[in-house]
Amino acid sequence: MVTDVKAVTHVRNIRYDKAAEALYIIDQSLLPNEEREIRLQTLAEMVEAIQTLRVRGAPAIGICAAYCLYLLARSIETDDPAAFLTQLQEYSARLEASRPTAVNLAWALREMEKTAATYAGNCRSALLDALYQKAISIHDDDIAKCLAISEYGLSLLKDGDGVLTHCNAGPLATSRYGTAQGPFLLAAERGMRLRVFADETRPLLQGARLTSYELHRAGVDVTLICDNMASMVMKNGWIQACFVGCDRIAANGDTANKIGTSGVAILAKHYGIPFYVLGPTSTIDMSCPDGAHIPIELRDPEEIKTLWYEKPMALSGVKCYNPSFDVTDHDLIAGIITEKGICRAPYQKTLASLFQ
């Protein structure tokens, strides 16, 4: 077992091998027991990987989709620019439909489509090269954004603080430091001691399988708790702040993140603990007025009843409701931390100013 921050922050969760023109991801569905790379070649494999969370986390699915669209563009055979764009948009729509909540997926695909439209009149190799460079720049930009977010996040913490986090917003979900977990990794690099409490995050256990895995390997003091223990650790006085990631932030600051996040925010308010959302500006959807307009992904009930168990934990006829995300009301959020700085209420105004 490594206890080395760099080994964690430099994980190659999404890797494009240009010489071989091959896209690889770490299959996150196998973690923490196995770290295995898989190659994505066909549209069906790409969609399946996103839907089954082999690649997951809002920024990571955007980055992955950008490389996917570049690869798919390479397979389009026509020389007619209009026919090329039509086929590319069809592929893009199929990728976008794979998961509805995280806006980074749509954002990255739009960026790729805009590049394709700009270069469609050029020769094939120039067009493909522009798409490749765009995918690389989306990836590189995310690295820079994550570092900036992590610095701003860390500026809100002091040595010895306890921080609660929900789901996984670390290097596997992004690139390099991550968003909500980035401050913990930066702190570890700088010898600052934080005590992190990671919710296990039912039903897909991203907190247990991924967050505690990353933080433990990086040498961060991490304690794994079941989701229903958050109130207890807050009441004990062990938590000075909550840091969570995000999948879509509406114009008024309402924020979709992994199911259970809004409950953490409500608890934090009860105990007087500041609750912060950390994410890149690509997660802000100014065209979405409020949380009621954020599409929420519903997933297979078997994730609750059977997925992790040798035997089913409920009768097969029992109904299940399995939303993958929930929305935290903006008035529960103490600050939204982006690569451009920390936004405070009124979010309608402070979020809009990020895009002026």
Q: Which residues bind ligand MRU (CB under 6 A)?
A: 53, 56-59, 102, 167, 169, 173-174, 179, 206, 245-247, 257-258, 324
Residues 6+ apart with CB under 8 A from 30: 36
Other beta carbons less than 10 A from residue 97's beta carbon: 13
The secondary structure of residue 332, as a DSSP letter, is G
Closest CA to 150 of 276, 57, 249, 58: 276
The residue among 59 and 162 lying less far from ligand MRU, judged by its C-beta, is: 59
Other beta carbons less than 10 A from residue 240's beta carbon: 18
The residue of the chain with the least Cβ separation from ligand MRU equals 245
- Alpha-carbon span 89 to 71, nearest angstrom: 13
In the residue annotation, 247 being an active-site residue is answered as yes
The residue among 324 and 338 lying less far from ligand MRU, judged by its C-beta, is: 324
CA torsion angle 320 297 255 172 (round to 10):
100
Helix/strand/coil (H, E, C) string of 147-194?
HHHHHHHHCCCCCCCEEEEECCCCHHHCCCCCCCCHHHHHHHHCCCCC
The residue among 129 and 141 lying less far from ligand MRU, judged by its C-beta, is: 141
- Alpha-carbon span 286 to 356, nearest angstrom: 12
Minimal distance in Å, beta carbon 46 to ligand MRU? 15
Minimal distance in Å, beta carbon 267 to ligand MRU? 17
- Alpha-carbon span 142 to 63, nearest angstrom: 8
Minimal distance in Å, beta carbon 296 to ligand MRU? 11
Strand partners, 198: 165, 224
Closest CA to 170 of 216, 204, 128: 216
Minimal distance in Å, beta carbon 44 to ligand MRU? 20
Residue 197: strand, helix, or coil: strand
The residue among 102 and 188 lying less far from ligand MRU, judged by its C-beta, is: 102
The residue among 85 and 342 lying less far from ligand MRU, judged by its C-beta, is: 342
Minimal distance in Å, beta carbon 142 to ligand MRU? 10
**Both ends of the chain: CA-CA distance in Å?**
46
Minimal distance in Å, beta carbon 259 to ligand MRU? 8
CA 29 vs CA 45, 159, 205: distances in Å: 14, 34, 10
- Alpha-carbon span 182 to 221, nearest angstrom: 14
Q: How many helices (H) and strands (E) does the chain have?
A: 13, 14
Catalytic residue among 142, 161, 199, 247: 247
Minimal distance in Å, beta carbon 59 to ligand MRU? 5
The residue among 262 and 324 lying less far from ligand MRU, judged by its C-beta, is: 324
The residue among 162 and 178 lying less far from ligand MRU, judged by its C-beta, is: 178
**Where in the sequence numbering do the catalytic residues fall?**
247
